[in-house]
A and B are shown apart, each in its own frame.
Chain A
């Protein structure tokens, strides 16, 4: 408690900044206007009146969705990097932790791309700018996970997470997916422990958020692996063990064979029961992913209710990402003249 007094010495400016950035997030009214757009030019015109300002002013028309996507991402990445550049320990470490997840995604993207015979030069621009690291380009040298570790990842902060997936198997799609999830599991657990160590409001807010993230991954892994030939014990190894499902829920999940069983397990957790209700795949219904996203947005917004913690930085980035997905969804719908599902964005309010 007493240390809260000293919080602002190092982090007050950045917290203020991030709260300012957060207030620039699009409101419901903006979405209502965006949805009415007829063309991407309309979209651009409306985004000009928001916090995005003239971010598309120097793009020659006709606009494409991917240009909008790049520009939106560029904007929040710039904001995040500004925060990172001004941060001192332990906030800088915390912000670095956030970027690790993007590194994992980038590695997986590169390896899968390589499997499909794409060249590195073509893949690199597609990587998330927050997860860039120097050795990335050479990733195609590795053909087994062991060589991947020994040659490339050993110098990156991801190295400790990789211990569990070193094997001499060739990298194929299933292996990569398993590798991604193992990495994620180790990463989330490590991040969770780091936040717990920091304690205070950071610990409280972040542990909550990361526990949710961990459980979401557990659910998704289970649901996605239902039809796949994946041994049960192998599956249980992929579950991050820092969520509310640990240990009983995870235990049950590893035995689940059908979707209904997963739903049954969720029934016994108050936090997750509502997410599995009213879910369907018919048009107009919300998918389970959307439900989880909605819940995530809600939790991230709650993080802003606490002061003197780092949770806001994490939440800001997640909210921005969600906003990015929303705008792109709307933009895609507008561009493809496919308006029936345009309302399926997840409002941030």
Chain B
């Protein structure tokens, strides 16, 4: 069987590597990506494992690479070159070369950086100084004016003081946002004895430490006396203000300004040179960074895997255990051979298959098409090993059930065009919007959406719904014809009658052509007032028929599962009662639907007689039938008797299923424990029995296995059926029985959601048409053109936003539920665990997008 149907046949393998060859062999297996290694030393700490040093060195290299990468990204002009198409895992001895190369690069870069930082700091200081000098001129001019005024006053007052009052001053630069608190603190500490002038520097300056642009302000402080000077200096220090020497006289300032300008020029050229050096260094590195990343990550993954291996006692070889698909074993062997060859070792690695009682991981071979559908199934539970995988059936049933709820050809067309766009542009779109989660969901389900769209077109044509309107493609089978004396004044509601001339002399003209509309619902219905009543009855019945078909199919699959696992007891005491119950009650209901459709046509007598099927079904359980009261209501002769027999037989299935299997299992167990000797022919039953037990507590087994895998290997022949627990089996079977028989009823009812949602969708889109778009269509020509143009926008927005997205989402969820609960509960256990192969491709992808899992 193909692997999608049941999953790959897996086996546990043991591989003996020669220690020198292990590295390259694992590298080959990683390229292959088809084996899942098991951790053989789960109790050993991460830092006590054998190859922890190598892992650590790889991490160190990764750190250096990240540093390089971040530096390259900072430099906007340099683009990172993508990794080579195929970057081979480096040989283990290449590690040292790579390390030294990276070490050298990092060292060079750091040197250049520190050089650049020093230059930049210098540059910044000079810039600040230049600003101070220019701003200070204005300050001093003002101050001079004040001072001369003050001086004259002072000199007049105090004649004996010869020396004019000299004010000390400090000039500096401070971050702009610190100015207010700086001012406040100065005022507080110096009690208002300081005069502060500030001026903003218009251009933003670059902070060499953080490489960000900062706004700064020049300030100048005037004060009197040494005491204040010390305090003021401390405050400046506390606020990280830089103080620059500023000469007092204007001529000196001008001179200094000139000097600063020339130094700035010089520094600029030096700085440019150092930036160029850095740039060329980074440009060179940018070519290789991605490839290095790829190589280092592969190397790290290899050592990480090798940490899971066991060491042979004499240290000559490494032992690994892994899960692998059986039909890949030859490829694995080839990879091992190639690895050995590359490493130059002459002793082959040995691959042995191992026997195990443990449940192997589940592996489905997928492509981008089946992937989406498999995800739908896996979201419910990974299938148990080798049980039937619902995914291949889901490919058709899922979009179909969706479409039944979403039946509108117009909406389906939009949806499939969108999906088609994603499918055709697959390769281009794959790497876009990687971080956009919503887009990723849509993109991941592109094939599902495509099929959903196509099926919606199909069901839309059957419902004859295109944006809630019908299309008259083949010509309706009905036409309105009236006799000449027909009084249009009196009649408000006009009946179309398939059988003319029966009772009413009024309708003599034949209205029904005699042949039904070739495909789907007749478009005449869109004009009738009882359209909803008609479609409801139609869709409801279809829902039930579809639902019962799907459940029956689920039961057939469960039969295949029972046969595959050799569980004959389950076939006779589970499958057969289940099928009988479902057939005798619910398939019979479907049969009644068909009979009713055929038997009761539009003739007046038969419409009166047609029985209500729901009531009929309920009455069945009370051994009553509508046919008993009125023979014209009978669907066929002898209906009452047949129904009684069916019910009795169906109810008898319940105890059969409840008791049959536990009793059989008990008898088998008793016989076995009495015989004591395990015969060869018994083995088949044994496996069957063990399968039952194993699946029930496989989770428990799995966890214990991880802890003491070694112990389990020794006790490999201890069969789990030793712990036979009658009580547990009985309780489980009881739950199972109740679940199934009640489930049959509730699940059938649950399928009515197909009708309900399809009704809701049809009604919503009709409302949208009549409330919005029709306003535009009804208006006259010239204004109508404008109104239609205006009205189309909300109509289109609502169609996409509400009908396509919201309704689509709800229909999707309901289809999902119908699959998970109603369909899969019939046969699917979903107690397996995923096969996660050791694959470089996946490891690299994960490393590239750490956010995604």
Residue of A nearest to B189 (CB): A151
Given the complex of chains A and B, what is the CA–CA distance between A33 and B47 in angstroms?
9
Given A41-B56, A42-B47, A136-B238, is A141 in contact with B189 using a C-beta cutoff of 8 Å? yes
Given the complex of chains A and B, what is the CA–CA distance between A151 and B60 in angstroms?
49
Would B46 and A45 count as touching, CB distance under 8 A?
Answer: yes
Bitwise, B48-82 to A at CB < 8 A (1) or not (0) is 10001000100110110011000000000000000
Bitwise, A276-316 to B at CB < 8 A (1) or not (0) is 00000000000000000000000000000000000000000
CB-CB < 8 A to B66: which residues of A? 57-58
Would A58 and B59 count as touching, CB distance under 8 A?
Answer: no
Best-surrounded residue of B62, B185, B231, B240 (most CB of chain A within 10 A): B185
CB-CB < 8 A to B178: which residues of A? 134
- B188 in contact (CB, < 8 A): yes
Other than the known A45-B46, A120-B238, what 10 A-B pairs have Cβ atoms closer than 8 Å?
Answer: A36-B45, A41-B56, A46-B46, A57-B62, A57-B63, A60-B63, A134-B178, A134-B181, A137-B240, A140-B234
Partner of A155, one of B45, B60, B184, B231: B184
CB-CB < 8 A to B48: which residues of A? 36
CB-CB < 8 A to B52: which residues of A? 45
Given A36-B48, A45-B52, is A150 in contact with B240 using a C-beta cutoff of 8 Å? no
Bitwise, A149-174 to B at CB < 8 A (1) or not (0) is 01110110000000000000000000
- B169 in contact (CB, < 8 A): no
- B820 in contact (CB, < 8 A): no
Min CB–CB distance A171 → chain B (angstroms):
15
Given the complex of chains A and B, what is the CA–CA distance between A41 and B178 in angstroms?
41
Residue of B nearest to A139 (CB): B238
Tally of A interface residues using CB under 8 Å: 31
Would A135 and B181 count as touching, CB distance under 8 A?
Answer: yes
Q: Which residues in chain B, 128-151, are within 8 Å of chain A measured between CB atoms? A: none
Given A138-B234, A138-B239, A140-B234, is A58 in contact with B189 using a C-beta cutoff of 8 Å? no
CB-CB < 8 A to B59: which residues of A? 57
- B237 in contact (CB, < 8 A): yes
Would B47 and A37 count as touching, CB distance under 8 A?
Answer: yes
Given the complex of chains A and B, what is the CA–CA distance between A52 and B752 in angstroms?
51
Q: Which residues in chain B, 685-744, are within 8 Å of chain A measured between CB atoms? A: none
Would A45 and B47 count as touching, CB distance under 8 A?
Answer: yes
- A49 in contact (CB, < 8 A): yes
Question: Can you spell out 27 A-B residue pairs with CB atoms less than 8 angstroms apart?
Answer: A36-B45, A36-B48, A37-B47, A41-B47, A45-B52, A45-B56, A48-B46, A57-B62, A57-B66, A58-B66, A120-B238, A135-B238, A137-B237, A137-B238, A138-B185, A138-B189, A138-B234, A138-B235, A138-B238, A141-B189, A141-B235, A147-B189, A151-B185, A151-B188, A151-B189, A152-B185, A154-B188
Complex A-B, nearest 3 residue pairs according to Cβ-Cβ distance, in ascending order: A137-B238, A138-B238, A42-B47
- A61 in contact (CB, < 8 A): yes
CB-CB < 8 A to A154: which residues of B? 188
Q: Which residues in chain B, 161-213, are within 8 Å of chain A measured between CB atoms? A: 178, 181, 184-185, 188-189
Given the complex of chains A and B, what is the CA–CA distance between A155 and B67 in angstroms?
42
Given the complex of chains A and B, what is the CA–CA distance between A139 and B67 in angstroms?
37
Would A33 and B67 count as touching, CB distance under 8 A?
Answer: no
CB-CB < 8 A to B189: which residues of A? 138, 141, 147, 151
CB-CB < 8 A to B67: which residues of A? 58
CB-CB < 8 A to B231: which residues of A? 141
CB-CB < 8 A to A152: which residues of B? 185
Residue of A nearest to B181 (CB): A134
Min CB–CB distance A51 → chain B (angstroms):
15
Min CB–CB distance B462 → chain A (angstroms):
48
Q: Which residues in chain B, 231-245, are within 8 Å of chain A measured between CB atoms? A: 231, 234-235, 237-240
Q: Which residues in chain A, 29-72, are within 8 Å of chain B measured between CB atoms? A: 33, 36-38, 41-42, 45-46, 48-49, 57-61
